[in-house]
């Protein structure tokens, strides 16, 4: 079966750095996605990793280790607008996304 | 980037009535669209995969006779919630597949059944 784990909630301070972890167990691997979802809105795409290593995109970076079944999303210079849920997702063999439960990130001033 | 629209954004209906939600890809053609449901404080749950010109594929536990999906064109898929009940109140989100690794989400439809 497939399983994705991520923390339920995290709190961080404005201007700081936060790392959101995701571990997965899948039969086969077709990459890993990170999405951001603000309350009441649809998810928006943040990153897609298929090879090991860190990919940086502005204030957001995503890391993947396929051998460890592990990924993290790194958010730097946190802003209040970054308060949202962050969803980790992996495609199954039909490329349909299997979603983690999401990590609710709370930013405090 | 690709744009996906949903209509309506919010709908309130009475128990026992049916509601249709439209999902459109505005600037690209999508042979495959996905319908998700999200209850408060829960993750997205895939309901069904909608393929243009063929029957939708439903996930286990989703009643195909209750959630009717029609993907009549390459830019439009509709989800009809038939005989809606309060427990069907949820956030319904569609997405359109652009490639094996890309899909774009609509803004979602908030359904409230009273």
Chain A: nearest CA to B9, how far in angstroms?
A: 10
The partner residue sitting opposite B101, judged by closest CB among A41, A43, A48, is A48
Closest CA to A90 of A31, A46, A37: A31
Q: CA-based angle B99:A6:A83, to the nearest 5?
A: 85
Say if residue B31's pLDDT is above 90. Answer: no
Residue in the structure block whose two tokens are 């077709």: A30
Question: Residue A2 and residue A90: Cα distance in Å, rounded?
Answer: 9
Q: Are B113 and B13 in contact (CB under 8 A)?
A: yes
Strand order in the sheet with B4-7: B4-7, B19-25, B76-81, B67-73
Q: How many other C-beta atoms lie within 10 A of the C-beta of residue B96?
A: 27
Say if residue A23's pLDDT is above 90. Answer: yes
- List pLDDT tens digits, range A69-98: 999 999 999 999 999 999 999 988 777 788
Question: Residue B66 and residue B85: Cα distance in Å, rounded?
Answer: 11
- List pLDDT tens digits, range B90-100: 999 999 988 77
Q: What is the pLDDT of residue B34?
A: 93
3-class SS string, A33-74 = EEEEECCCCCCEEEEEECCCEEEEECCEEEEEECCCCEEEEE
Averaged pLDDT of chain B: 91
Say what percent of chain B tops pLDDT 90.
68
Backbone angles phi, psi at A76, to 5 degrees: -105, 160
Beta bridge partners of B90: B111
Question: Residue A15 and residue B33: Cα distance in Å, rounded?
Answer: 38
3-class SS string, chain B = CCCEEEECCEEEECCCCCEEEEEEECCCCCCEEEEEEECCCCCCEEEEEEECCCCCEECCCCCCCCEEEEEEECCEEEEEECCCCHHHCEEEEEEEEEECCEEEECCCEEEEEC
Question: Residue A76 and residue B75: Cα distance in Å, rounded?
Answer: 38
> Are A43 and B105 inside 8 Å of each other by CB?
yes
B35 part of contact set with chain A, CB < 8 Å = no
**Average of per-residue pLDDT across B24-45:** 88
Chain B contacts of A101, Cβ < 8 Å? 42-43
Tell me how far apart the terminal alpha carbons of chain B are, to the nearest angstrom. 37
Say if residue A1's pLDDT is above 90. Answer: no
Q: Which of A9, A24, A30, A42 to mutate to test the interface with B (most CBs of B within 10 A)?
A: A42
């Amino acid at each position: 079966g497939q399983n994705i784990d991520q923390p339920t909630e995290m709190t961080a301070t404005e201007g700081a750095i936060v790392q959101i972890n995701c571990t997965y167990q899948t039969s086969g691997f077709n990459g890993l996605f990170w999405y951001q979802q603000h309350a009441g809105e649809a998810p928006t795409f943040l990153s897609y990793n298929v090879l090991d290593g860190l990919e940086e995109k502005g204030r957001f970076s995503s890391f993947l280790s396929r051998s460890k079944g592990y990924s993290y999303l790194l958010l730097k210079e946190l802003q209040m607008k970054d308060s949202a849920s962050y969803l980790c997702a992996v495609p199954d063999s039909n490329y349909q996304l299997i979603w983690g439960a999401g990590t609710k990130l709370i930013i405090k001033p | 980037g690709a744009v996906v629209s949903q209509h309506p954004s919010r709908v309130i209906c009475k128990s026992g009535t049916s509601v249709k939600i439209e999902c459109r890809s505005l600037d690209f053609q999508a042979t495959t669209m996905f319908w998700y449901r999200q209850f408060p404080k829960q993750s997205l749950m895939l309901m069904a995969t909608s393929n243009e010109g063929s029957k939708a594929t439903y996930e286990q536990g989703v009643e195909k006779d209750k959630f009717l999906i029609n993907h009549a064109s390459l830019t439009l898929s509709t989800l009809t919630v038939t005989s809606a009940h309060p427990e069907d109140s949820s956030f319904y989100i569609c997405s359109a597949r652009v490639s094996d690794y890309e899909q774009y989400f609509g803004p979602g439809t908030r359904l409230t059944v009273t």
